[in-house]
Structure 1
Amino acid sequence: MVLNALLRPDEFFAERAPGLSLGRAAAVVFVVAVVSTAVVGAFGWTLSQRLTATTEIPNDERPPDWVCEDEADSEVEEMVQDGCDEPKQKTVVVGDLLWDAFSERLPLVFVGVLLAWPLYGVALHVGSALAGGSGSFTDTLAVAAWGMFPSALQAVVGFGLLYAALGGIDLAGSDPEMLASQIRSLTERAQGDTALLSLAGAVWQGYVWTFGLKRARDLSTGGAAFAGGGVAVVVFLLSLV
Structure 2
Amino acid sequence: WSQARTKFQSFFAVKVGDPAAEIAGLAKRIDTFKKPGGAGENYIGKVVHDPKKPVVTWGNVPLFAPYLTKANSADKGYVVGGVFPPDPIKKPIPQELLNEFINKKNLVYYNWEITGQRLEKWNLLIQFAAILSDRREQLVNKTKGIDFITSLYPKLGNTITDATVNGKELTITRKSHLGLSALEIALLTRWLDNPQFPKPTLEWPKPAETPRAKPRRIKPRKKPAAKK
TM over 0.5: no
TM-score, with length taken from structure 2: 0.24
Which protein is richer in strand relative to its size?
Answer: 2
TM-score, with length taken from structure 1: 0.23
Structure with more contact order per residue of length (Cα contacts < 8 Å, sep ≥ 6): 1
Which protein is richer in helix relative to its size?
Answer: 1
